[in-house]
């Protein structure tokens, strides 16, 4: 009920009922045979009762009586349309046109759409052009036909210029005879969560009680382990689906419909994993959820930005993509989100299945309102320098086809895409992976993972971890380690310099420096466990993000982030007395190095005093090259020796 497939099926049925009533419920028919008309009207009743088989039987009887009954052929086409039997639909339209091509001009448009569903673009284009040859039509229908002609021309060009596409089935450990779809991945690609549509019960004749639940598979090297049901806390007797997980796999946002605590037909919920246990799902509430239909969430890597789909009245089209930002996490674990913003690229049609890449600079959407191959196509958007989204770009053929392409995700490494397809006959929908063409790859993302712990007791710690752009001083990512096991995972966009910090109440903070410029060793994913020291006399840390010009004690602007954390620590602990010490490598005379290191330590103290820390709480000292921590015979060792340290003298 929550998902696109079910929504579309229901919508199509009621549209067909409308077409039958409007087009054919008329006092005069193209024939006069009462017997044929009687069978036709029987078919109409069966169709309203959703009995397609009996409707087709009655229509066949009507045509046996009179094979020139145009309305019966058009009605047949409608039924075959709802059954997704495009071959039979096309044949019925053709028979109607053979009798009288101008009796119902829209038949040419419908036939064009039927050809489009088979990927017969040239034939489809011809029928749309023939439809436009009729003079009496609304401007709306004319615009629709012109749009479809452009889609046909676009598709023919795409087929002549295909992109590389070799999808590989994820195999029986993930896929079954039932439908698997909507994949979502952690940044390290070790956890795959997906939706499975399977029966609660089975009989020898029919599958009953189809239900959507979440399943999870874990990777062993290059192999996915057998999938298992995610959690009884989340999976219920109702449907859950269209999930999205944060890069560390700890938060999951998903769609559920018809729940007692729901605000509309379908709402977005979230759950938090601590250790191996998921919390009871919480309705995201207003303003994200409304009385309308909210679904298909996509959460940014750090859980701070949410993209989702809604048909709320203030949108531009039928279904639009919206964005909301996390404002705060309250003490009870509930979240406050900003008023959703309708994104500029939405059309008057449908935009679905947003996916935000871990870089936060690349978005994938599905749309039937943009130029494509027919049905829903996948489009990419990239964020400009001014932080606005670029014009959507079609991902090309054969990634997109004449069918509906919905729900594609891309790994953090930016080279592989996962999607669902029913391309294998008899298997239902399966999840596939393929190498993403280089021209469609997002900015590359590295990641850092490990655990935070007490350096003495080895106790696992709950900590706040931040990644800060040292040039702009913007917080790129803020996450928290797992309360149960101290684990964390943070994404590191390459090409910039970052400060990485870990803070836990009652402990000295930890800081590191990542210069993720091109061809740097730390561009590769890595593991790093972080030991924190209790905040007490004798504890000391290296301030890895305090920088000076060469042979100078002038503090560089990119030191601001680290020094701000140091100020906050001292401001929150008013009894704290600390010593700032400066250290150099062995370049130059020792006298010069002692002076340089002492003045650098003093510069840090002066900064804190200027911010409001009493000078009596600050000591400074220079050690020159006398306390080397690495080999001064290498450039890497010299860089480590050039440092500023912070030591607690009194707590």
548: domain CATH number?
3.30.1330.60
More confident residue, 493 or 581: 581
Which of 517, 534, 551 represents a domain boundary (last residue)? 534
Residue 142 clears pLDDT 50, i.e. is over it: yes
pLDDT at 517: 61
What rounded mean pLDDT belongs to the chain?
90
Mean pLDDT computed over 214-232: 93
pLDDT class for 606, splitting at 50, 70, 90? very high
Q: Give tens-digit pLDDT for 162-205.
A: 999 999 999 999 999 899 999 999 999 999 999 999 887 544 44
Mean pLDDT computed over 422-430: 71
More confident residue, 553 or 236: 553
525: domain CATH number?
2.60.40.1120
Residue 83 counted as domain residue: yes
Domain count for the chain: 4
541 and 522, same domain (yes or no)? no
DSSP state of 616: G
149 and 212, same domain (yes or no)? no
Residue 15 clears pLDDT 50, i.e. is over it: no
152 and 295, same domain (yes or no)? no
User: Is the whole-model pTM more than 0.95?
Assistant: no
> 542: closest CA among 623, 395, 421, 642?
642
Residue 603 counted as domain residue: yes
Dihedral sign, Cα of residue 432, residue 433, residue 439, residue 440:
positive
222 and 317, same domain (yes or no)? yes
pLDDT class for 523, splitting at 50, 70, 90? low
371 and 253, same domain (yes or no)? yes
Residue 165 counted as domain residue: no
Mean pLDDT computed over 402-417: 93
The residue behind tokens 């609304």 is 138
pLDDT at 385: 80
Mean pLDDT computed over 547-563: 94
Which string of DSSP letters, residue by residue, matches 221-236? TTEEPPPEE--TTT--
Q: Give tens-digit pLDDT for 107-118.
A: 999 999 999 989
Q: Give tens-digit pLDDT for 318-376.
A: 999 999 999 998 888 889 999 999 999 999 999 999 999 999 999 999 999 999 998 89
pLDDT at 201: 55
pLDDT class for 135, splitting at 50, 70, 90? confident
How many CB atoms within 10 Å of residue 390?
A: 13
276: domain CATH number?
2.120.10.30
Residue 399 counted as domain residue: yes
The residue behind tokens 């009596």 is 616
Residue 169 counted as domain residue: no
507 and 584, same domain (yes or no)? no
Residue 12 clears pLDDT 70, i.e. is over it: no
pLDDT at 651: 76
Mean pLDDT computed over 613-634: 95
Residue 12 counted as domain residue: yes
Residue 170 counted as domain residue: no
pLDDT at 440: 96
138 and 250, same domain (yes or no)? no
Residue 18 clears pLDDT 80, i.e. is over it: no
Tokens of 69: 């009954």
Percent of the chain with pLDDT over 90: 80
461 and 542, same domain (yes or no)? no
351 and 382, same domain (yes or no)? yes
92 and 138, same domain (yes or no)? yes
211 and 357, same domain (yes or no)? yes
Residue 168 counted as domain residue: no
CA 147 – CA 421 distance, rounded (Å) = 26
Which of 440, 468, 491 represents a domain boundary (last residue)? 440
Which of 418, 440, 462 represents a domain boundary (last residue)? 440
258 and 352, same domain (yes or no)? yes
How many CB atoms within 10 Å of residue 292?
A: 16
pLDDT at 424: 61
Q: Give tens-digit pLDDT for 430-481.
A: 999 999 999 999 998 889 999 999 999 999 999 999 999 888 888 888 999 9
39: domain CATH number?
1.25.40.10
How many CB atoms within 10 Å of residue 261?
A: 12
Q: Give tens-digit pLDDT for 57-98.
A: 999 999 999 999 999 999 999 999 999 899 999 999 999 999
Q: 230: domain range?
A: 175-440
Residue 635 clears pLDDT 70, i.e. is over it: yes
544-551: long-range contacts at Cβ-Cβ below 8 A with a sequence spacing of 24 or more? 544/499, 544/511, 544/512, 544/513, 544/643, 545/470, 545/499, 545/511, 545/512, 545/513, 546/604, 546/644, 548/600, 548/603, 551/588, 551/596
């Amino acid at each position: 009920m929550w998902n696109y497939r079910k929504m579309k099926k229901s919508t199509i049925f009621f549209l067909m009922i409308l077409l039958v009533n409007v087009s054919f419920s008329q006092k005069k028919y193209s024939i006069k045979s009462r017997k044929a008309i009687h069978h036709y009207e029987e078919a109409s009743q069966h169709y309203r009762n959703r009995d397609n088989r009996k409707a087709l039987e009655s229509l066949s009887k009507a045509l046996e009586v009179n094979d020139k009954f145009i309305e019966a052929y058009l009605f047949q086409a409608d039924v075959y349309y709802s059954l997704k039997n495009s071959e039979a639909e096309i044949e019925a339209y053709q028979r109607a046109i053979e009798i009288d091509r101008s009796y119902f001009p829209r038949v040419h448009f419908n036939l064009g759409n039927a050809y489009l569903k088979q990927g017969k673009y040239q034939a489809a284009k011809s029928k749309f052009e023939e439809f436009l040859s009729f003079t009496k039509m609304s401007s709306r229908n004319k615009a629709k036909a012109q749009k479809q002609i452009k889609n046909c021309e676009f598709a023919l060009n795409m087929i002549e210029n295909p992109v590389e596409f070799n999808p590989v089935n994820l195999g029986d450990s993930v896929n079954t005879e039932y439908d698997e779809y909507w994949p979502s991945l952690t940044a390290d690609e070790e956890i795959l969560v997906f939706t499975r549509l399977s029966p609660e019960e089975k009989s020898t004749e029919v599958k009953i009680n189809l239900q959507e639940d979440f399943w999870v598979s874990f990777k062993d090297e290059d192999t996915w382990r057998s999938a298992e049901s995610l959690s009884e806390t989340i999976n219920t007797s109702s449907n859950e689906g269209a999930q999205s997980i944060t890069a560390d796999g700890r938060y999951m946002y998903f769609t559920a419909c018809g729940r007692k605590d729901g605000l509309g037909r379908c709402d977005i919920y979230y759950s938090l994993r601590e250790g191996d246990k998921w919390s009871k799902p919480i309705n995201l509430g207003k303003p994200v959820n409304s009385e309308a239909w909210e679904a298909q969430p996509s959460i940014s890597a750090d859980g701070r930005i949410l993209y989702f789909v809604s048909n709320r009245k203030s949108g531009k089209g039928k279904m639009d993509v919206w964005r909301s930002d996390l404002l705060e996490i309250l003490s009870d674990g509930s979240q406050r989100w900003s008023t959703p913003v309708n994104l500029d690229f939405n059309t008057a049609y449908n935009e679905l299945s947003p996916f935000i890449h871990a870089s936060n600079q690349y978005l994938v959407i599905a749309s039937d309102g943009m130029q494509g191959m027919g049905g829903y196509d996948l489009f990419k958007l990239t964020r400009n320098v001014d932080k606005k989204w670029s014009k959507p770009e079609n991902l090309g053929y054969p990634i997109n086809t004449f069918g509906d392409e919905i729900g594609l995700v891309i790994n953090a490494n930016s080279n592989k895409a996962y999607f669902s397809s029913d391309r294998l006959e008899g298997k239902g929908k399966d999840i596939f992976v393929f190498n993403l063409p280089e021209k469609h790859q997002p900015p590359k993302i590295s990641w850092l993972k490990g655990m935070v712990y007490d350096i003495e007791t080895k106790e696992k710690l709950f900590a706040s971890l931040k990644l800060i752009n040292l040039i702009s001083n913007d917080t790129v990512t803020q996450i928290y380690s797992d309360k149960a096991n101290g684990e964390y995972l943070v994404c590191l966009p390459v090409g910039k310099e970052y400060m990485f910090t870990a803070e836990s109440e009652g402990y000295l903070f930890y800081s590191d420096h990542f210069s993720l410029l091109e061809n740097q060793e730390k561009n590769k994913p890595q593991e790093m466990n972080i030991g924190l020291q209790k905040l007490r006399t004798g504890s000391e840390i290296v301030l890895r993000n305090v920088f000076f010009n060469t042979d100078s004690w002038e503090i560089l602007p990119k030191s601001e982030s680290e020094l701000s954390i140091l100020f906050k620590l001292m401001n929150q602990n008013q009894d704290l007395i600390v010593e700032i010490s400066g250290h150099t490598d062995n370049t130059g005379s020792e006298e010069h190095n002692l002076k340089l290191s002492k003045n650098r330590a003093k510069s840090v103290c002066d900064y804190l005093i200027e911010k409001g820390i009493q000078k009596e709480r600050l000591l400074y000292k220079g050690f020159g090259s006398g306390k080397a921590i690495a080999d001064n015979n290498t450039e890497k060792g010299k860089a480590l020796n050039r440092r500023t340290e912070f030591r607690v003298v009194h707590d």
